[in-house]
Chains A and B, each alone.
Chain A
C-alpha cells in the first residue's frame, strides 16, 4: 500500500519532473478508486506566470475551485457544494511508493473531505431495516439488565466452548422485546457471544423467522402452503389486507415479506406450512395460534385484538 506523506506547506514542485502534456491531451489525476477527479475542470489559481514551461513554482497555498470539480463515485455523480473551497494546505497527499509524482499520482485523502458519504460498516450495509409505521409499537434497542440476564441463562444451556449455539435463542429474545433485529442488536449479540458480527448477520438473513424491520403491533402470519391454500388462505390474506388497508405489492417474496398497515397496528406475512393442515386455513397472530380462520372470520379475528 501507499504510504501517506504530508506535503509541507511551502513546498515547490519541480515542474520539469512532471509528466505534463501541454495542450491537447487531457490531464487526468487518478484519485483512489472509485472517486475520480476530472483535471480538465480544475481551476488552478497561480500567482506566477503560467505560460512558462518547466521550473514553475506552484505557489502555496493554491486553491482549487471546488464548484468546478466533478466527483464520480461508482455510477453517481456528485457535484461539490458551490461555495466550498478546498484549502490545498490541509490536503494530505499519498505517494504510490517513495517518489512523489505531483500532481499525477496525487491522492486526496478522502477522510478530510467533508462532502464524502460516511463509510458504512458491513452490518449497516447489509441490514435491511427501513422504518415502518409499526416502529412506534416497539422500544428502541437497548441492553437492559433483564435482557442481559436472560441472555446469560440461554448461553448456559450450551457447552462452555460452544456459546455460538446461543445465537438463535438470543435473537429470539431480542426480536420478542424489540420487534425486529436491528444493526445495533446484531452487534450486541456478536459481542455477547464473542463472535464476528457477520456470523450473527448470516443467521438473521437466512431464517425467515427473523425480521429486519418492525412489524405491526399485531403481526399476522398466514399459512400459504397446499392444504391451507386449498382451505382458502389466499382469500383470507386478501380480506385481511382489505380490512387493514395493507398494500402487499411492494413485497418481493423472499427478502422483504412483511407489509405493515399505514396505522402501524397490523402487519401481514405469508408463512410456509404452520403444521396444522387438518384445520386449514390457519394463522399465527404474534404468538397466538388460530385455526379454521376462513375469510368470513377475518374481521372477528382482528377485532378480538383491537377491542
Chain B
C-alpha cells in the first residue's frame, strides 16, 4: 500500500485512512480492467464466491458496516430482511443518485474506480441471492454512465459477470439505469418506482419495505455506492478486523466531503469517529479563509440540522455523559445524533461569518421546494410556503411574525409525510430558526406588516380607548 503514489497536489492527508478512495487521484491509474486486475482486483470476488452466501452476510454483519447513503442503517441487517421462504427473483440496486447537497463522494468512485463498485456488487448480489442488479446513476453523471457500461462489458468479457462467474455456477447481470435529475430518486422506494418507469413517488413503509416488496414487488436490496464498495474491503480484511477501524458501533472508514468557506475543500476518507471538527476543519481543510471566522457547519448534507461553531453539547448518558464543545465533536453517526443533528451522507458544508443566515435559508428552501415530488400535501404545499416566506425574509419584506410562521410550517411537515423528504426539508429550517432566530428576526421589520383599512381603524379606535 505504501508504494501508491498520488497525483501532485492530490495526496491524502496524514489523518486519512484510504480504503474506498485508494485509487482516487492515483498516479498511473485508469478505469480499465487491466489496471484494476494488476492491483489485485477481483480477488475478493473469487474469495466471496468460494464462501457460502450466508457466510458473506455474516462477515458484513460482524463488520458493523452502516449504510453510507444517509440513514446509517446496518447493511448486513438490511440484507437479512429478505423473507426466508421467498420464491420471487431477488434484485440488487446500487443507489448512485448522489444528490444530497454537500455530498460528492460517489462521483469519484463511479468516475475513477468503477471496477471496485462492480466487484462489491457481485459479492453483495451473491450474498443476497440476486441474479439481476441495476446501478441507478443520476442523470448529471453522463460520463459515469458510459464508464460504468464499459467497465461492465470488460468484466463480462473476463468472466466476472454473466453466466457461471469464475466457474462458481453463480449468474449475475448488471445494468446501468440513468435517472433524470430528481432528488427524490435518492429515496429507496422512490428510486424503485423510478426504475419501474413511473413518477418516483415514494412508497409507504410498512408495508412496502424493499427487502420484502421492492422492485416489481420482489425482494430488493438498495445500497449506496460507498456501502457496496466497503463489502470488498470487509472480505479482504475479514469482518473482525474491519470492525476495529473507527469506533464501536461506528466501524470502518467513511468519506467526508467538505465544501463551502474553508481554504482547502475536498474529500477525506477517515476512520469513523476518529476525526473531530477541529481536526477536519483546521488541520485537514486549512482553516477559514483569510480574515474570516467559522460561523456554522451543516454536518451531513443540507438535510441535516445546522450546528453553531460556538455551541457545546452534552454527549452520552448517565455517568458517561460529558460536555463537548462543537470543535471536539467526533464525526460519527451516534455523536452527531446526540448533538441533535445527523452524520447523513457525510457532506460537510461550512459557513463563515460573511454568510447571512437568511440567504442560506432561502437557498435551501428553494432547493426543497423544487425537489418535493408532490405526493403528500404537507410537503408539497409546505415546502413552497417555506420558500415564499424565506423569500420575504431575504428580500427584507418580512415581519417578525414571519419567522414564527416559517417555524410553524416546518413543524407541520416534519413527521407527516410518506418518506423522509418531509423531515429533510423541515429540519434545516427548524434548526436554522432555533439557532439563529435573532439574526433572522433582525432581517425583518414591523413596518412590513400589511394592515387592512379595517384593522388600521380598529387599532386607532383601541388606542383612543386606552388613552
A interface residues, Cβ below 8 angstroms from B: 157-159, 162, 164-169, 171-172, 193, 199, 202-203, 206-210, 221, 224-227, 229-230, 253-254, 271-280, 284, 287, 289
Q: Are B98's CB and A227's CB within 8 A?
A: no
Q: Are B180's CB and A277's CB within 8 A?
A: no
- A210 contact set on B, CB distance < 8 A: 180
Report the separation of the CA atoms of residues A279 and B175 in the bound assembly, to the nearest whole angstrom. Answer: 30
Question: Who on chain B is nearest to A206 by CB?
Answer: B199
- A207 contact set on B, CB distance < 8 A: 139, 179-182
- B370 contact set on A, CB distance < 8 A: 208, 253-254, 272
Q: Are A277's CB and B257's CB within 8 A?
A: yes
Report the separation of the CA atoms of residues A271 and B258 in the bound assembly, to the nearest whole angstrom. Answer: 20
Report the separation of the CA atoms of residues A206 and B180 in the bound assembly, to the nearest whole angstrom. Answer: 9
Q: Are B199's CB and A203's CB within 8 A?
A: yes
Known: A226-B101, A226-B360. A275 touches B195 (CB 8 A): no
Instruction: Count A/B pairs, Cβ under 8 Å.
Output: 138
A/B interface sample: 6 pairs, CB < 8 A: A168-B179, A168-B197, A202-B198, A224-B366, A273-B101, A277-B102
Q: Are B267's CB and A278's CB within 8 A?
A: yes
Q: Are B199's CB and A172's CB within 8 A?
A: no
Q: Are B177's CB and A168's CB within 8 A?
A: yes
Q: Are B349's CB and A275's CB within 8 A?
A: no
Q: Are A289's CB and B259's CB within 8 A?
A: no
With A275-B98, A276-B107 already in contact, 11 other A-B pairs whose C-beta atoms are closer than 8 Å: A157-B177, A203-B198, A207-B181, A226-B360, A226-B363, A227-B102, A271-B140, A271-B181, A275-B104, A277-B349, A289-B143
Report the separation of the CA atoms of residues A229 and B371 in the bound assembly, to the nearest whole angstrom. Answer: 17
- Residue of A159, A166, A274 near B197 (CB, 8 A) is A166
Report the separation of the CA atoms of residues A169 and B415 in the bound assembly, to the nearest whole angstrom. Answer: 34
Question: Does B250 belong to the interface (CB within 8 Å)?
Answer: no
Q: Are B367's CB and A272's CB within 8 A?
A: yes
Question: Who on chain B is nearest to A205 by CB?
Answer: B199
**Closest CB in chain A relative to B175 CB, distance in Å:** 4
Question: Who on chain A is nearest to B103 by CB?
Answer: A275
Q: Are A227's CB and B140's CB within 8 A?
A: no
- A209 contact set on B, CB distance < 8 A: 139-140, 179-182
Report the separation of the CA atoms of residues A277 and B266 in the bound assembly, to the nearest whole angstrom. Answer: 8
Report the separation of the CA atoms of residues A276 and B257 in the bound assembly, to the nearest whole angstrom. Answer: 9
> B368-392, CB under 8 A of A: which get 1 and which 0?
0011010000000000000000000
Q: Are B197's CB and A275's CB within 8 A?
A: no
- A157 contact set on B, CB distance < 8 A: 175, 177
Report the separation of the CA atoms of residues A284 and B103 in the bound assembly, to the nearest whole angstrom. Answer: 17
Report the separation of the CA atoms of residues A164 and B196 in the bound assembly, to the nearest whole angstrom. Answer: 6
Report the separation of the CA atoms of residues A229 and B132 in the bound assembly, to the nearest whole angstrom. Answer: 40
Q: Are A226's CB and B142's CB within 8 A?
A: no
- A172 contact set on B, CB distance < 8 A: 139, 178, 180
Known: A164-B196, A227-B259, A278-B266. A208 touches B103 (CB 8 A): no
Report the separation of the CA atoms of residues A278 and B181 in the bound assembly, to the nearest whole angstrom. Answer: 20
Report the separation of the CA atoms of residues A209 and B175 in the bound assembly, to the nearest whole angstrom. Answer: 20
Question: Does B117 belong to the interface (CB within 8 Å)?
Answer: no
Report the separation of the CA atoms of residues A226 and B89 in the bound assembly, to the nearest whole angstrom. Answer: 41
Question: Does B53 belong to the interface (CB within 8 Å)?
Answer: no
Q: Are A229's CB and B363's CB within 8 A?
A: yes
Q: Are A277's CB and B360's CB within 8 A?
A: no
Report the separation of the CA atoms of residues A126 and B107 in the bound assembly, to the nearest whole angstrom. Answer: 35
Q: Are B106's CB and A275's CB within 8 A?
A: yes
Question: Does B99 belong to the interface (CB within 8 Å)?
Answer: yes
Residues of chain B in range 218-269 having any CB-CB distance to chain A below 8 Å: 257-261, 265-267
**Closest CB in chain A relative to B416 CB, distance in Å:** 22
Report the separation of the CA atoms of residues A199 and B198 in the bound assembly, to the nearest whole angstrom. Answer: 7
Question: Who on chain B is nearest to A279 by CB?
Answer: B265
Q: Are A168's CB and B194's CB within 8 A?
A: yes
Q: Are B180's CB and A226's CB within 8 A?
A: no
**Closest CB in chain B relative to A221 CB, distance in Å:** 8
Q: Are B181's CB and A276's CB within 8 A?
A: no
Question: Who on chain B is nearest to A287 by CB?
Answer: B142
Known: A226-B363, A272-B367. A164 touches B197 (CB 8 A): yes
Question: Who on chain B is nearest to A225 by CB?
Answer: B101
- A279 contact set on B, CB distance < 8 A: 265
Q: Are A162's CB and B104's CB within 8 A?
A: no
**Closest CB in chain A relative to B317 CB, distance in Å:** 34
- A226 contact set on B, CB distance < 8 A: 101-102, 260, 298, 302, 349, 360, 363-364, 367
Question: Does B48 belong to the interface (CB within 8 Å)?
Answer: no
- B355 contact set on A, CB distance < 8 A: 230
Q: Are A206's CB and B138's CB within 8 A?
A: no
Closest 6 CB pairs of A and B: A209-B180, A207-B180, A209-B181, A277-B259, A167-B197, A164-B197
Question: Does B69 belong to the interface (CB within 8 Å)?
Answer: no
Q: Are A273's CB and B100's CB within 8 A?
A: yes
- B194 contact set on A, CB distance < 8 A: 168
Question: Does B436 belong to the interface (CB within 8 Å)?
Answer: no
Question: Who on chain B is nearest to A221 by CB?
Answer: B140
Question: Who on chain A is nearest to B140 by CB?
Answer: A274
Known: A164-B196, A166-B197, A226-B302. A277 touches B103 (CB 8 A): yes
**Closest CB in chain B relative to A240 CB, distance in Å:** 18
Residues of chain B in range 116-137 having any CB-CB distance to chain A below 8 Å: 132
Report the separation of the CA atoms of residues A277 and B101 in the bound assembly, to the nearest whole angstrom. Answer: 8
Question: Who on chain B is nearest to A273 by CB?
Answer: B101
